[in-house]
Homo-oligomer: A and B are copies of this chain.
């Protein structure tokens, strides 16, 4: 969807015109009351559910959650996925041409915030003729957008489903984002964000950024369970220097390679693989923009840090979900939102799921998690016309 009207951004900058890539699932009912907007996090897109015809393994990123008969049931709801501004999956972003200069934006793409994204999403709904959302839903950074919807457009949202999210980032969260950004920005192939013109991609930096991200998505427990201290397969080790067998090895234990450069442990090759894969398709400037949107989100900021006052504007009903082993957006952060909503006597349900998978749990199947979301949407379903 192309938008010719200038979008004013929170920074004071603006986008003269822009496009948003979106997908819809299910059917909008006659009174347009069954729309659910699903907001994406760092590494995702408008493609929230389903598969593309003839494309193997093209499932949407929340396909276990959204579809016919699924917790967010597209037999009942009209679901909308939108790729956010600044992303690299089709909506206007840093790899596109700046109409004001005729040059690719690169690092000149303006900083976009959660609030800016919500404004752009609201315009898309305007064009689609949807005045009010049955629900807005998201996990992680997507949950921040859902929360922000309830503050920016309180009259346009009946329910908000905020999963594995937080009212702002902690210093540690910002720190991880900053290290990832520095890895990208100091990669000689970054060229101050104008690497497109140089025919390069700062892949080294993107790999490091993704490796750091992956560590924070998983829990210590699940990493130990999945990888522990397992060495890379013995078959690969057979090709190692013969020096290894001459070493004073622990009897019965598989030989170490004794290398600082080779991957030795399974966790190392897993992270390298994830980093390599990511660097092939993700845009470096998008990574900077999206992590910055995370850093900047802080609705309590305009209220002297008082989240209860900040959330007083919200009028809809809420479902909050967190996961016990999520140390990136820990349950206590969700509880801060719950408390602030209860301070305002809002209708809020909260589920703290005892799942081992860390932050990633919000994308994974867990019967209790799926059950909670299913019941919540079932109850919304009874409110909207068929």
A214 to B366, CA, bound (A): 34
Q: Are A260 and B171 interface neighbours, CB within 8 A?
A: no
Determine how close the nearest CB of chain B comes to the CB of A9; give it in whole angstroms: 8
| Proximity string of chain A (113-131) to chain B, C-beta cutoff 8 Å, 1 when within and 0 when not | 0000000000000000000
A258 to B295, CA, bound (A): 10
User: Which chain B positions have C-beta within 8 A of A261?
Assistant: 107, 185, 193, 288
User: Which chain B positions have C-beta within 8 A of A252?
Assistant: 302, 304
A210 to B291, CA, bound (A): 20
A272 at the interface (CB under 8 A from B): yes
A183 to B272, CA, bound (A): 11
Q: Are B171 and A186 interface neighbours, CB within 8 A?
A: no
A228 at the interface (CB under 8 A from B): yes
Q: Are A223 and B175 interface neighbours, CB within 8 A?
A: yes
Q: How many copies does the complex hold?
A: 2
A75 at the interface (CB under 8 A from B): no
Determine how close the nearest CB of chain B comes to the CB of A318; give it in whole angstroms: 23
> Which chain B residue lies CB-closest to A222?
B171
Determine how close the nearest CB of chain B comes to the CB of A317; give it in whole angstroms: 26
Q: Do A171 and B250 form a contact, CB below 8 Å, given A186-B204, A260-B107, A265-B295?
A: no
A259 at the interface (CB under 8 A from B): yes
**Chain A interface extent, by class:** 35 or more
A72 at the interface (CB under 8 A from B): no
Q: Are A260 and B111 interface neighbours, CB within 8 A?
A: yes
| Interface-located stretch among A50-58, A240-248, A340-348 | A240-248
Q: Do A258 and B111 form a contact, CB below 8 Å, given A250-B301, A295-B264?
A: yes
> Which chain B residue lies CB-closest to A270?
B175
Determine how close the nearest CB of chain B comes to the CB of A6; give it in whole angstroms: 14
User: Which chain B positions have C-beta within 8 A of A259?
Assistant: 111, 292
Q: Are B215 and A247 interface neighbours, CB within 8 A?
A: no
Which positions in A face B, CB cutoff 8 Å?
Answer: 8, 10-13, 107, 110-111, 168-172, 174-176, 178-179, 181-183, 185-188, 193, 204, 207-208, 211-212, 214-215, 218, 220, 223-224, 226-229, 243-248, 250-253, 256, 258-261, 263-265, 267-268, 271-272, 275, 285, 288-289, 291-292, 295-296, 298, 301-302, 304, 327
Q: List 27 A-B contacts (CB under 8 A).
A: A10-B247, A11-B243, A11-B247, A12-B243, A107-B261, A111-B259, A170-B220, A170-B223, A171-B224, A171-B228, A171-B229, A175-B211, A178-B211, A178-B272, A179-B212, A179-B215, A182-B208, A182-B211, A185-B261, A187-B204, A220-B327, A250-B301, A250-B302, A252-B302, A253-B301, A259-B292, A261-B288
